[in-house]
Amino acid sequence: MTTRIDAKFAALKAEGRKAFVSYIMAGDPEYDTSLAIVKGLPGAGVDVIELGLPFTDPMADGPTIQLAGQRALEAGMTLDRTLDLARAFRETDNTTPIVLMGYYNPIYSRGVDTFLAQAKEAGIDGLIVVDLPPEEDSELCIPAQAAGLNFIRLATPTTDDKRLPRVLQNTSGFVYYVSITGITGAAEAEAGDVGPEVARIKSATDLPIIVGFGINTPEKSRAIASVADGAVVGSAIVSKIGAGDSVDSVLEFVKSLADGAHTA
């Protein structure tokens, strides 16, 4: 089965273009504004949307993403409302891939089979679940792939050659390379550090390598995309939303980042 993610990266490769991936927290600052931003992302040049699933205890996230999750939860966001947002997006866009990114607890509470059926029906294409290591693939990764969803794994600067094959074993869609050690929004990515690591991972997989964490300007987006298959930006976009910027202002910033990646 070819997912929207697979189709998108095949098209980008055929065009010789790098990918731009954006992350926003579903329901931040509230449902309607969040939906308006998500609907505007493809027009701003976003190739893949990462949609954060609000969670009370986001251990891998820095303050910016944590606060976004709190705002969303306080505004009444739930797993069901997150899937509703994806459905609403799909009413006008049936091609842009959506990756749901979050933690396992809400999925486990829902029940894996029920969640996967609902996610697929809502138009979700892939999952990034940051607290499920490869040793737990039978929990969600393998059932997700069987349901037609990509399961995207994170690789980090501490993923050594011994660990890498295990990380890549059941990964599909793309590999998300975390450019720094630590939490989101904590430091800046450097292309000189990232390039050799991307090359090392590429020697072990044919999947696209997309780099995230520490990218916050169009120049940085271009630099990182130049040494990978694309760039992900999250905290820098979420901070604009948290500051109360208008939908148009947020999307204008996203477009500048996307233009950076696309000119790499």
Active site residue 197: no
Strand ranges for the chain from DSSP E: 19-25, 48-52, 98-102, 126-129, 150-151, 154-155, 175-178, 209-212, 230-233
Question: Catalytic pick from 28, 61, 125, 229?
Answer: 61
Q: How far is CA 123 from CA 5, 153, 228, in A?
A: 12, 20, 27
Q: Which residue has the tokens 């505007």?
A: 40
The enclosing H or E element of 102 equals strand 98-102
Residue from 47, 50, 125, 137 carrying the catalytic annotation: 50
Q: Does 61 qualify as catalytic in the annotation?
A: yes
Angstrom distance (rounded) from CA 138 to CA 144: 10
Provide the 10 A C-beta neighbour count for residue 43: 12
- Enclosing H/E stretch for 193: helix 191-202
**Residue 31 corresponds to which tokens in the numbers above?**
């449902």
Query: Which stretches does DSSP call E strand in 67-219?
Result: 98-102, 126-129, 150-151, 154-155, 175-178, 209-212
Residues catalogued as catalytic: 50, 61
